[in-house]
Structure 1
């Protein structure tokens, strides 16, 4: 039986600090060092936000430093990779294109009474009040992407829902860190907003994937047969996510972040 102390004691939370590392080429880089109670092993990762070292609670700082030193060549290559693939930012009057459905759509800037992002035959128009702030600008972009995603759903859902035991109870868009979609037991479907940035076929595949969970909640062979019957090219789209998924997620975060 667990002790009373274990029942009432608060669970430890991750703690963070910064570790400065000298790379083999002479560069100094800062690594976010995270002491994470959920971590089971030392893990070094790099993404558009920078480098991160995760340590289990019982791992010593010395072991973490040694781990980084052993992987310093890999760390340098990963940092260079992300430096070459720069994350786009939304800058008023400067950003000249926005990602949408696998393309870079030309963007023009204008002044308006309220923040509005619209589309015409020449591309996109971003109208903002003279004193409009960055937060309103990013909120407008997020609303635009969600409206585009819902327009895509409106075209695809009528094709797939009739063959299902029921419809999703609700569909929402979120900025997801790793997943592309999920389906809760009560039928609420959550889709990653970054899907709107990628090629439409990949977005459609994720939708079909989640809809098939209304038939099979697992990833059994029976589940994949349902996916294949509705979307035969699903393997191609899964390959697309392996190649482009990280870039899509990073692009969305870059556009929507301060």
Structure 2
């Protein structure tokens, strides 16, 4: 039935099938068993295999069979294994009185655990002190560490931002930190600036480059040559930082995901 006939006749549009997700374990040609999130998407036109900090993801059109999807994964097994190794976290979730250090500003920050009634995390000189009760939960630890990272990130932004404001048409309307899957930052039309919280794990020059990049979008909303000239004027070594993200960025996101879990932004 055509859309026009349906509109004129008053017949309702048949419900469209939504996105369906499940997890499957697929054994690659080398014998390695890999858990894959399988996603059936009515908008998909072809099979697609991707990897992010959450693991492997296979997107299938509605008409593709499960067997075809499994063959596709196995055919790309070498690529998938390499991507999973590159995306793997170098650290696991916090374990009370066990985890010895966490990443911060491009280095591993030593942890010092203390027993106490209330959960508290504070940076004292070169040591990160954590006071935790015996019954502390994983969720509470993840939330506290995330709050700590955000407080430190806002402090860094507070030091960097004043030097860039005089050359901008306006300041960002607000600042928000989130756990992003692919992006490192974004600037909304209303001037709201969002940054990936995992930037707090990166070396400060890399973090500052992302800030400069997004601030320059207040001048040019695109990625034209004029935009990159603005970035170059404020961050002459931006290419080095971009290359760093291309080689180490995925691992950075995976590490934050392992430390802070699937928390809502």
RMSD of Structure 2 on Structure 1 (CA): 2.3
Between 1:20-29 and 1:124-133, the stretch displaced more is 20-29
Structure-2 change in CA distance of 1:157 and 1:73 (3 Å): closer
Distance in 1, Cα, partners of 2:143 & 2:24: 34
C-alpha distance in 1 between matches for 2:11 and 2:260: 40
Q: Per-residue displacement from partner, 1:196-243 (whole Å, max 9, x unpaired)?
A: 000000110111111111111111111111111111111111011001
> Which residue does 1:51 correspond to in 2?
56
Per the alignment, residue 154 of structure 2 pairs with 150
8 Å CA contact retained: 1:87, 1:250: no
Describe the SS at the equivalent of 1:165. Answer: coil
Tell me the distance in 1 between the aligned counterparts of 2:81 and 2:48.
Answer: 16
**Alignment-derived partner of residue 202 in structure 2:** 198
- Native 8 Å contact 2:116 2:131 kept in 1: yes
Aligned length: 257
* Gap runs ≥5 in structure 1: none
Closer, same or farther: CA 214–46 of 1 in aligned 2, 3 Å: closer
State yes or no: 1:253 paired with 2:264.
no
Using the TM superposition, name which of 142-151 and 54-63 deviates more: 54-63
1:117 aligns to what SS in structure 2? Answer: strand
TM-score, with length taken from structure 1: 0.90
Q: Which of 202, 220, 223 lines up with 1:219 in the alignment?
A: 223
Return the match for 1:105 from 105, 109, 117. Answer: 109
How far 1:187 moved relative to its partner? 0.7
What is the CA deviation profile of residues 149-172 of structure 1, one whole-angstrom value per residue up to 9, with x for unaligned ones?
Answer: 010011001100111110001011
User: What is the CA-CA distance between 1:87 and the residue it aligns to?
Assistant: 4.1
Q: Distance in 1 between matches of 2:14 and 2:112?
A: 55
Unmatched 5+ residue regions in structure 2?
A: none
The SS at the match of 1:131 is coil
